[in-house]
Amino acid sequence: MDTVPGMDGTLSGRPASFEGGLRPVAPGTWAWLQPDGGWGEANAGLVVGDGASAVIDTLWDERLAAAMLAAMGAPTAAAPIALAVNTHHDGDHWWGNARLPAGARIVTSQRSLDAMRHEGTPADLSRLRRLAGLTARIPGRPGAMGRYVRSMLAPFAFDDVTLRFPDDAFSGRATERVGGRALELVEVGPAHTPGDLVVHLPDVGVVFAADVLFVGVTPVMWEGPVENWIAALDTVLGFGAETIVPGHGPLSGPAEVRALRDYWVWLAAAVAEHHAAGRSPLQATLQIVRSADFAPYRAWLHPERAVINVTTIHRGLSGLGPLAQTPPVRIRLFDQVATVARTIERG
């Protein structure tokens, strides 16, 4: 197997702040953790039953998926993977599907499946990375944006991804059974994306919250509205689980869910004030990240992503829909992300 960057640390090459790899979280239940939870550093899961197993999410490229599945070889030796759940349509949670066993059935929410079929592809991100590499050489703001995006996408092998779409989709709630174990799939989107779902394992009290939960990492709200994300976190808390696997970041529990809920409540109120004052999303973000109230969140990984969240909340207050997830729109947005990153670095 080819060497996969980040197997012993972060994909970006930073020192890891928590241990990655396959970690047991309950009987017959593992989390696959990828430090430190930044861009594309996504978590996944494994549920092993009597003679069959389920995988929750498959990472951002086939090399990463192959490494993860190899690590799952021992627990699945007597319980082959029969089911996979894709928690939402962002590529870092499903573009590794092609490495699943051919007979494994894949399920997601209907809204996620629709988005998978109509939004960005691995080829789009390959082109964006090449463009970023060219603009990285330009002085000033365009170069800063290019360097940011180039660094963000550098660890991933998008050119080697073959898309494998889910076989089935549902809306609302569904229960899947594998090896005698129940997986409760609960659609909580639109929030992070249009069709976010979480996976509750009632037999062991574990929730795979996917990208409804970021821990120690600034979340990204592409879709919104923010009220839905807050409600989604309330749903996660309502399961009463003590072990919660985030989509990005280390293993967590209810306290980390409440911390993210507090972030959204605070940010929604702050954006409302700036929106009422007539400030643009970028203007609002630059003031927010300089404020004393932002101090607890400045230590989170990628605090500059606040501009994405501010933009989504601001658009909601203006009666506009979510941003279109097209390459030109994302380039403009990442230009602002890079601008905010420089502002935060300067202090």
Domains and CATH numbers, the chain: 21-122+154-346 (3.60.15.10), 123-153 (no CATH)
| Whole-number pLDDT of residue 3 | 39
Query: Taking residues 112-135, what's their average pLDDT?
Result: 93
Checking if the pLDDT of 11 tops 90, the result is: yes
Beta bridge partner(s), residue 56: 45, 85
Q: Which of 346, 347, 333 is nearest to 148 (CA)?
A: 333
Distances (CA, A) of 108 to 42, 70, 118: 17, 23, 15
Q: Which two tokens stand for residue 87?
A: 């928690």
Checking if the pLDDT of 247 tops 80, the result is: yes
Rounded to whole angstroms, the Cα distance separating 249 from 265 reads: 21
Q: Which of 169, 197, 168 is nearest to 184 (CA)?
A: 197
Which residue type, as a one-letter code, is found at position 6?
Answer: G
Rounded to whole angstroms, the Cα distance separating 323 from 112 reads: 16
Which residue type, as a one-letter code, is found at position 10?
Answer: T
DSSP strand pairing (53-56 vs 81-85): parallel
pLDDT tens string 264-291? 999 999 999 999 999 999 999 999 999 9
**Per-residue confidence band for 6, with pLDDT thresholds at 50, 70 and 90:** very low
Q: Which two tokens stand for residue 226?
A: 């923010």
Which residue would you say has higher pLDDT here, 328 or 38?
A: 38
Checking if the pLDDT of 2 tops 70, the result is: no
Q: What is the mean pLDDT of the chain?
A: 95
Share of the chain above pLDDT 70, in %: 98
* Sheet with 197-201: strands ordered across: 173-178, 181-187, 197-201, 206-214, 243-248
Checking if the pLDDT of 162 tops 70, the result is: yes
